C-alpha cells in the first residue's frame, strides 16, 4: 500500500530537473491549481493481482486550467518534460517524443521504445486530423499456430505472453520519426536530451512502478530485469529509490544522433533480435524484420455525435470504429437528461457497448490482411437499426454481430487485451494537438529487456487460437500482420472543425468504454475533464456489466440485475488523460484532467 510518506519520498526528484518543477511537487502534494470545483473521488481497490493492476486512487483533485499549452501524461516527470518542450516553442509532436522517451524510463511497465502506439494529430492551421499507426507487426517467422501447444490447444495466456515469442516488431520510434518529419519544430536530438539525462542520473521509483514490480515476480526470471528492478535480497526496489539506467541513456543517445534508422538497423537491431532469439520460449524477430518495419499514415475514423465530430484510430485498432458505433447508437437517447451515475445512463451505455463489441469481435482486424467492412460498420442507417435492439427496460444479455453481406467467413476474436499501456494528450501553443496511446501490452511486456528497455508482448493481442474448426480467426497471426488493438486515442472537433478535446486511456479492451463514457460525460453531461475521468466506471465488453468496485455506481447492481444484467464488480485500471478546449467570450482555455486511478498529471501554462 502506498503511504503519503512514500509519495513525498518519490517526489524527491526535484534536483534532477531543476527548480521549475516545484509546481509539480506542489501538485503531488494535492495542490494542483484549482480552477474548478473538486472532482468526486473514485477510489479503486488494489486487491486484484492483474498484469497491470489498478493503483490506489490518487487524492481528489481539481481540473487544471491553462491558457497556452498543456500536457497530460501518466507520470509527472514525463508531463513536466513535455511542458518544458512546449515552453521552448516545441510542437505537440515534439513534446510527444520527449514524453515518450521519459515514459520509457520512468513507466517501463506500460510503454516504451520497445513497443507500439497509435497517434492522432490535429493541425490547427488546416483544421485536419491525421492518424499514425506505429503498431507492432508479426515477424516474418511468425505462424498462425505459434501459440498452440503440442495438443493443438492455446497456451495459457501468461505463458504465451512471456519470453521472445510474444515480441512483435516495435513501431514507436519509426512512428514518432514520421510524425516529427511532418510536424516537428525542434531538432530530434533535443527531444531526447531530458530522458537521456534522467536515465544517466536516475529517477525516483514511483509508488505504482514499485507496486507493479512486486506484482510481477516473473521479472526475476530474466537476469536483466532481475538486476534492474530488484535489490540484492530479491526485494522490489523501494518507492523513492533512485533508479539509473545507463544502458537506456546510451540507447537513447544512439537514436537521438542516428535517427530512427539507428534503432531499426545496426547494433540495436542486432541486440533486439539476439535477445528475442535467446530468451526462454524464443521468438523469430530478425534484423530484417526490424529493418523493414514501416510506420503508416491511415485515414482517421470520424463519426458524428450531436454537433461534434469524434475522430479516432481505424484498424488495426478497433477503438475508433467501436467508439463511433457506440456514440451513434446513443444518439437516439437523451443522455443529457440522465445523471452520470444513473441506472438509465449505465443501461444505455452498456447496451450500446454490447452491440459494438459483438461487431468488433467479428469484423475488426488488420485491414491490410482482412476485409473489414468499414463503411457498413459506420453507416448511420445500419447503426440506427442496431440501436433498435436497445430496450429501455431490459438488457439484451449478449449481443450478436450484425449480419453484413459479402463479409468473408471468419471466426470472431473475443479476446480482450490485458490492461497495461499509457496515454498522453498534448495541446501546443499554436493549438495543434496530439492524442497518443502507447503500449508494450502486459505490464513489463514480454519481460525481455535489452539495452535498457523492455520489449513488448503485443503478439498476444492476436487470437491465440487461429481457427474455429475450419473457419480462420479474423485476428489470427500472419507474418507482417498487426494485431488488433483497442487503443483509442481520440480527437473531437466542433462543426467548424475547431479542436474541442483530445483524450484516451490504457485498459485493454476496456479502453473503448472508458473513452466512450468520458466523451458522454464531457459532451453531454458538461463535466470538466477532471470530473469526467474520475467518474466511476460501468461498462460491458458484451459479457457481464462491470461496475467499479467500492464506488457509488456499484450500488446499481440490484436494479441492473432486475433488468436482466449479469453484474460483476471490478477494480478498474483506466488511465484517462485528456484536455478540453473551452471557448468563452473570445477567450480560449485548456482544461486538463488526469485519472485518479494512476499517478498522472496535467501540466500547462
Q: What cell does 89 get?
A: 516553442
Distance CA 499, CA 253 (A): 35
Alpha-carbon torsion 562, 523, 438, 193, what sign?
negative
Q: Which of 359, 370, 461, 524 binds ligand GLU (CB under 6 A)?
A: 461
- Determine the interface stretch with ligand GLU among 8-16, 69-77, 303-311, 419-427 (rule: CB under 6 A): 419-427
CB closer to ligand GLU, 422 vs 502: 422
Least Å distance, CB 161 to ligand GLU, is 10
Using CB under 6 A as the binding rule, whether residue 216 contacts ligand GLU is answered as no
Distance CA 554, CA 569 (A): 7
Strands 116-123 vs 70-73: parallel, antiparallel or unpaired:
unpaired
Distance separating the N- and C-terminal Cα atoms of the chain: 33
Distance CA 533, CA 517 (A): 9
Helix axis angle for 319-330 and 380-387, nearest 10°, is: 60
Q: At 259, is the secondary structure helix, strand, or coil?
A: coil
Least Å distance, CB 51 to ligand GLU, is 8
CB closer to ligand GLU, 119 vs 420: 420
Interaction residues for ligand GLU, span 227-246 (CB under 6 A)? none
CB closer to ligand GLU, 24 vs 570: 570
Q: What cell does 409 get?
A: 467467413
303 neighbors 121 (Cβ within 8 angstroms):
no
Least Å distance, CB 482 to ligand GLU, is 10
How would you write 159-190 as a 3-class SS string? HHHCCHHHCCECCHHHHHHHHHHHHCCCCHHH
Helix axis angle for 343-363 and 380-387, nearest 10°, is: 130
Least Å distance, CB 511 to ligand GLU, is 5
CB closer to ligand GLU, 52 vs 94: 52
201 neighbors 248 (Cβ within 8 angstroms):
no
Q: Show the site string, 333-372: x = touches ligand GLU by CB under 6 A, - = not.
A: ----------------------------------------
421 a catalytic residue: yes
CB closer to ligand GLU, 421 vs 425: 421
How many residues make up the chain in this entry? 605
Using CB under 6 A as the binding rule, whether residue 420 contacts ligand GLU is answered as yes
Least Å distance, CB 458 to ligand GLU, is 6
Place of cell 529509490: 241
CB closer to ligand GLU, 459 vs 529: 459
Least Å distance, CB 456 to ligand GLU, is 8
Least Å distance, CB 391 to ligand GLU, is 30
Least Å distance, CB 457 to ligand GLU, is 9
295 neighbors 134 (Cβ within 8 angstroms):
yes
499 neighbors 582 (Cβ within 8 angstroms):
no
Interaction residues for ligand GLU, span 285-304 (CB under 6 A)? none
Interaction residues for ligand GLU, span 465-504 (CB under 6 A)? 485-487
CB closer to ligand GLU, 191 vs 454: 454
CB closer to ligand GLU, 171 vs 506: 506
38 neighbors 61 (Cβ within 8 angstroms):
yes
How would you write 319-373 as a 3-class SS string? HHHHHHHHHHHHCCCCHHHCCCCCHHHHHHHHHHHHHHHHHHHHHCCCCCCCCCC
Q: Which of 100, 109, 284, 421 binds ligand GLU (CB under 6 A)?
A: 421
Least Å distance, CB 38 to ligand GLU, is 28
347 neighbors 537 (Cβ within 8 angstroms):
no
Count, residues near ligand GLU per rule CB under 6 A: 15
Using CB under 6 A as the binding rule, whether residue 419 contacts ligand GLU is answered as yes
**Torsion angles phi and psi, residue 345, rounded to 5:** -65, -45
CA 562 remoteness from chain centre: 34
Using CB under 6 A as the binding rule, whether residue 105 contacts ligand GLU is answered as no
The one catalytic residue among 2, 11, 137, 421: 421
Least Å distance, CB 188 to ligand GLU, is 26
Interaction residues for ligand GLU, span 502-531 (CB under 6 A)? 506-508, 511
Interaction residues for ligand GLU, span 256-285 (CB under 6 A)? none
Q: Show the site string, 374-413: x = touches ligand GLU by CB under 6 A, - = not.
A: ----------------------------------------
Interaction residues for ligand GLU, span 426-455 (CB under 6 A)? 439, 441
DSSP states of 90-127 as a string? --HHHHHHHHHHHHHHH-TTT--TTSEEEEEEEETTTT
- Determine the interface stretch with ligand GLU among 59-67, 202-210, 295-303, 414-422 (rule: CB under 6 A): 414-422
CB closer to ligand GLU, 49 vs 234: 49
Using CB under 6 A as the binding rule, whether residue 114 contacts ligand GLU is answered as no
CB closer to ligand GLU, 183 vs 510: 510
55 neighbors 597 (Cβ within 8 angstroms):
yes
Q: Which residues are catalytic?
A: 421
State the residues that interact with ligand GLU by CB under 6 A: 417, 419-421, 439, 441, 458, 461, 485-487, 506-508, 511
Amino acid at each position: 500500500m502506498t503511504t503519503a510518506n512514500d509519495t513525498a519520498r518519490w517526489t524527491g526528484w526535484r534536483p534532477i530537473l531543476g527548480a521549475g518543477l516545484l509546481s509539480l511537487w506542489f501538485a503531488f502534494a494535492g495542490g494542483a491549481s484549482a480552477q474548478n470545483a473538486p472532482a468526486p473521488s473514485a477510489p479503486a481497490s488494489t486487491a486484484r493481482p492483474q498484469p497491470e493492476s489498478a493503483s490506489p486512487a490518487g487524492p481528489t483533485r481539481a481540473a487544471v486550467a491553462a491558457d497556452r499549452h498543456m500536457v497530460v501524461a501518466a507520470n509527472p516527470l514525463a508531463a513536466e518534460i513535455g511542458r518544458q518542450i512546449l515552453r521552448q516553442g516545441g510542437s505537440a509532436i515534439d513534446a510527444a517524443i520527449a514524453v515518450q522517451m521519459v515514459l520509457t524510463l520512468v513507466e517501463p511497465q506500460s510503454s516504451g521504445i520497445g513497443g507500439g502506439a497509435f497517434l492522432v494529430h490535429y493541425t490547427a492551421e488546416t483544421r485536419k486530423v491525421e492518424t499514425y499507426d506505429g503498431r507492432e507487426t508479426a515477424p516474418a517467422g511468425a505462424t498462425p499456430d505459434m501459440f498452440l501447444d503440442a495438443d493443438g490447444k492455446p497456451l495459457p495466456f501468461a505463458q504465451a505472453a512471456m519470453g521472445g515469442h510474444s515480441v512483435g516488431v516495435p513501431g514507436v520510434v519509426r512512428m514518432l520519426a514520421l510524425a516529427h518529419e511532418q510536424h516537428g519544430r525542434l531538432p530530434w536530438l533535443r527531444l531526447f536530451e531530458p530522458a537521456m539525462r534522467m536515465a544517466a542520473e536516475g529517477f525516483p521509483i514511483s509508488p505504482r512502478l514499485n507496486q507493479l514490480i512486486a506484482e510481477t515476480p516473473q521479472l526475476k526470471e530474466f537476469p536483466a530485469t532481475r538486476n534492474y528492478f530488484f535489490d540484492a535480497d530479491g526485494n522490489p526496489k523501494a518507492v523513492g529509490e533512485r533508479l539509473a539506467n545507463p544502458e537506456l541513456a546510451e540507447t537513447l543517445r544512439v537514436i537521438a544522433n542516428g535517427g530512427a534508422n539507428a534503432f531499426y538497423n545496426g547494433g540495436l537491431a542486432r541486440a533486439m533480435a539476439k535477445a528475442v532469439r535467446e530468451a526462454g520460449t524464443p521468438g523469430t524477430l530478425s534484423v530484417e524484420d526490424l529493418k523493414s518495419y514501416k510506420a503508416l499514415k491511415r485515414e482517421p475514423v470520424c463519426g458524428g455525435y450531436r454537433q461534434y465530430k469524434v475522430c479516432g484510430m481505424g484498424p488495426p485498432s478497433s477503438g475508433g470504429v467501436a467508439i463511433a458505433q457506440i456514440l451513434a447508437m446513443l444518439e437516439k437517447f437523451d443522455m443529457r437528461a440522465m445523471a452520470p451515475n444513473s441506472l438509465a445512463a449505465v443501461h444505455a451505455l452498456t447496451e450500446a457497448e454490447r452491440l459494438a463489441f459483438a461487431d468488433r469481435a467479428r469484423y475488426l482486424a488488420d485491414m491490410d490482411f482482412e476485409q473489414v467492412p468499414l463503411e457498413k460498420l459506420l453507416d448511420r442507417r445500419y447503426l440506427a437499426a442496431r440501436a433498435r435492439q436497445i430496450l429501455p427496460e431490459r438488457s439484451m444479455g449478449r449481443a450478436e454481430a450484425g449480419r453484413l453481406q459479402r463479409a468473408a467467413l471468419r471466426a470472431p476474436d473475443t479476446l480482450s487485451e490485458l490492461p497495461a499501456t499509457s496515454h498522453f494528450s498534448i495541446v501546443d501553443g499554436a493549438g495543434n494537438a496530439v492524442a497518443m496511446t502507447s503500449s508494450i501490452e502486459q505490464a513489463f511486456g514480454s519481460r525481455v529487456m535489452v539495452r535498457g528497455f523492455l520489449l513488448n508482448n503485443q503478439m498476444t493481442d492476436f487470437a491465440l487460437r487461429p481457427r474455429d474448426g475450419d473457419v480462420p480467426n479474423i485476428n489470427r497471426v500472419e507474418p507482417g500482420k498487426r494485431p488488433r488493438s483497442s487503443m483509442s486515442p481520440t480527437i473531437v472537433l466542433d462543426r467548424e472543425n475547431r479542436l474541442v478535446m483530445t483524450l484516451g486511456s490504457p485498459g485493454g479492451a476496456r479502453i473503448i468504454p472508458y473513452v466512450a463514457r468520458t466523451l458522454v460525460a464531457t459532451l453531454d453531461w458538461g463535466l470538466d475533464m477532471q470530473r469526467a475521468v474520475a467518474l466511476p466506471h460501468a461498462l460491458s465488453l458484451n459479457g457481464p456489466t462491470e461496475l467499479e468496485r467500492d464506488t457509488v455506481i456499484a450500488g446499481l447492481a440490484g436494479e441492473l440485475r432486475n433488468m436482466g444484467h449479469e453484474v460483476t464488480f471490478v477494480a478498474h485500471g483506466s488511465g484517462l488523460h485528456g484536455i478540453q478546449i473551452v471557448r468563452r467570450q473570445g477567450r480560449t482555455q485548456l482544461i486538463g484532467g488526469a485519472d485518479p486511478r494512476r499517478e498522472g498529471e496535467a501540466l500547462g501554462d
